[in-house]
Amino acid sequence: MSLQLKAGQHSMAGRQFINQDFADFSLPSAGLLRDKGAVFAIADGIGSSQVSQLASETAVRSFILDYFATNPAWSVPHAALQVLKACHRWLYQQNKHSSYGQNPDKGYCCTFSALVLRQQQAHWIHLGDCRIYLYRNAQLSQLTRDQRSWQAGQQLLSQALGAGPEIVPEQQQLSLCAGDCFLLASDGLFDFISQPALATLLASVTASADLDQLAQQLANTALANGSDDNISVQLVQVLAVPAQSQLPGGLLASAQLPDGLLPGSLDARLPLPPLLQSGSVLDGMTVQRVLSQTNRSHLYLVALPDGTPAVLKAPSQTLANDDLYLEKLLREEWIARRVHSPYVLRAAQPDSGAQAMAPRSAIYSLFAYIEGQTLAQWRLQQATPDLQQVLGIIEQTGKALQALHRAEILHQDIRPQNVMLDAQGQVCVIDFGAARLAGLQSDQEVAGDIPGTALFTAPEYFTGQAGSCQSDLYSLAALCYYLLTGQSPYGPDIARCKNLPAQQRLSYQPIVGRHNDWPQWLDLTLQKALQVDPAKRYQHLSEFLYDLRQPNPLLGRELTLQAAYPLRLWQCLCYLQALLILWLLVV
């Protein structure tokens, strides 16, 4: 069952001349609702300004529009924050470049609260003093906190969209239950209807209630209670929540992959492709040759109907019942379609103008064909690899990871077999089978097995921690180390260390001295990127990539005692002083 919602709203100027509030929502259709959710936003222009109604309308409209345009791989909080920040910066710049630049109280400023309901979660982002309430089990609770402060006996907003260079919105989330009712309202409403009265009114909401009418009724009640402000109210009723067991992205069960190829439910999903051979035809594609067959997947080089070469990745027959694996296989193409970088594998695209692809008759993923060799094969051909070439490869791989990280995707399986090098020296990161998407994360995967390969997987995975960008950084640095030396920075022992104390006993084996041309500081860079503790690694990939080419004076420097242990040092000095005083007293 998918998420089912019903919504209604009402906004009126009330006793004011103009309505500076603005409220709107978007309830998209099934596919988008599952991926991005439904969005409800309300904004209240500040009363001291004559133009704040423009700010509130702009904020709400652009938030809803831009939120749905964000990368589907992004998590809801990240997407909401990015969109709201962009919205804020635009309003702020408008203020700066207008006559209100010196006096934001008169400019394009508004409060803003938005609610995003996606799958089993409600997320909200909030700035200012509109409110979001949740009515559940006959109890009304206020989810947001009013960002108001008292100054000179007057209540003022502590934050507003468009005012001040930076905003720090409040962001939270909770799990949805069927029957939940959310209420978003501006201060013209909740300042004039007490919370118990609101609860009483919401208790009358039934599944068949007309929410627009109810919203209007609420606004009229506030007006009757003497509200002198604009009144806006939105009501959202959660009719049904999807079951927890549904797979994260729902690709298997959805018609979401390109060309609407998958039927609507898990029971009626597509079969696995048959075992293909050179010359076989599947969905209009001709198999040119078998690239590899393992117990996980089969890779075939195929020619699309228009002749474009592509790689078809089909699941191994034995995994027909492993839904999580099949889901991940489909997700690989999903990722390839959404991350645009010259260093990241693309999905297969027929030439423009060519006839449309036939609908898929089986579960598989299609990727662009990269002519080249994996770094594992490349490394075997190099007796002593050229440092500059290796650094070039690592930089390109790093850029691929940056592109993935920007889309909130962790690759989690960077190793020589998963990076292709073409004849021109261009790198392409392949295989997203172990990738983790913030936007599509599921509990099953968090508790699942360790991604990647023992020697290139960051140590924290073995101790049960979740991965981070630093984990991919570790793998990248381990790849660099491997390409240079053909070995692992901690030797094969790292694969046998499954707990933190054992990992901390490992010692990094320096590369200095193995080759005359390699600079000594390269060790410092690699060592920092390969720390067992992710917090001690570089915090950004870009820092590591920069330090690969330039010696970093901060890395090599031995810390002085005072810098390393400031507290201990002064404590010791005090103890010594105390002893000296005692001794002098005695003598």
Shortest distance, CB of residue 486 to another protein, whole angstroms? 8
Q: Does 488 bind another protein (CB under 8 A)?
A: yes
Instruction: Using CB under 8 A, count the residues that bind another protein.
Output: 33
Q: Does 318 bind another protein (CB under 8 A)?
A: yes
- d(CA 214, CA 211) in angstroms, rounded, equals 5
Q: Does 292 bind another protein (CB under 8 A)?
A: yes
Q: How far is the CB of 551 from another protein (least distance, A)?
A: 28
Helix, strand or coil, per DSSP, at residue 401: helix
Q: Residue 558's CB: how many other CB atoms inside 10 A?
A: 7
Q: Please report how close the Cβ of residue 240 comes to another protein at its closest, in angstroms.
A: 37
Binding of residue 450 to another protein (CB under 8 A) = no
Binding test (CB under 8 A) with another protein, winner from 71, 487, 509, 552: 487
Select from 30, 201, 290, 403 the one that contacts another protein (CB under 8 A). 290
Residue 66 beta carbon to another protein: minimum distance, rounded to whole angstroms:
44
- The residues, ordered by sequence, that sit 6+ positions from 77 with a Cβ below 8 Å of its Cβ are 123, 125, 171, 173
Does 376 interact with another protein (rule: CB under 8 A)? yes
Q: Per rule CB under 8 A, is residue 380 in the interface with another protein? A: yes
Q: Is 506 in the site for another protein (CB under 8 A)?
A: no
Please report whether residue 294 would count as binding another protein according to CB under 8 A: yes
Please choose, from the candidates 115, 118, 140, the residue with its C-alpha nearest in 3D space to the C-alpha of residue 126: 115
Is residue 138 classed exposed, middle or buried when 0-12, 13-18 and 19+ CB atoms within 10 A define those classes?
exposed
Q: State in angstroms the smallest separation of the CB of 423 from another protein.
A: 15
Residue 425 C-beta: closest distance to another protein, Å:
22
**First vs last C-alpha separation in the chain:** 86
For 39, the token pair is 């969005």
DSSP code at position 201: H
Q: Which stretch binds another protein (CB under 8 A): 4-12, 139-147, 178-186, 294-302?
A: 294-302
Residue 502 CA to residue 385 CA, distance in Å, equals 32
Task: Provide the greatest CA pair distance for the chain.
Answer: 101
How far, in Å, CA of 361 to CA of 270, rounded? 6
Select the residue interacting with another protein from 62, 316, 349, 441 (CB under 8 A): 316
Q: Output 320 or 573, the one with its CB closest to another protein.
A: 320
Is there binding between residue 291 and another protein (CB under 8 A)? yes
Instruction: For residue 200, give the amino acid letter.
Output: T
- List the interface residues with another protein, window 250-289 (CB under 8 A): 275, 278-279, 288-289
Is residue 281 within 8 Å of 357, Cβ to Cβ?
no
| Complex with another protein: residue 233 or 497, whichever CB lies closer | 497
φ/ψ (deg, to 5) at 424: -85, 0
Dihedral angle at the C-alpha atoms of 209, 213, 217, 223, nearest 10 degrees? 160
Residue 333 to residue 327: CA distance in whole angstroms: 11
Rounded least distance, CB 416 to another protein, Å: 7
Range 399-418, binding another protein (CB under 8 A)? 415-416
Print the SS3 string covering 291-302: EEECCCEEEEEE
Angle made by CA atoms 439, 440, 444, in degrees to the nearest 5: 140
Which residue is associated with the tokens 């193409």?
Answer: 333
The residue from 320, 446, 466, 512 that contacts another protein (CB under 8 A) is 320
| Stretch of 2-10, 50-58, 485-493, 524-532 lying at the interface with another protein (CB under 8 A) | 485-493
Closest CB to another protein among residues 290, 368 = 290
Residues that bind another protein (CB under 8 A): 275, 278-279, 288-296, 316-318, 320, 376, 380, 415-416, 453-456, 482, 487-488, 491-492, 495-498
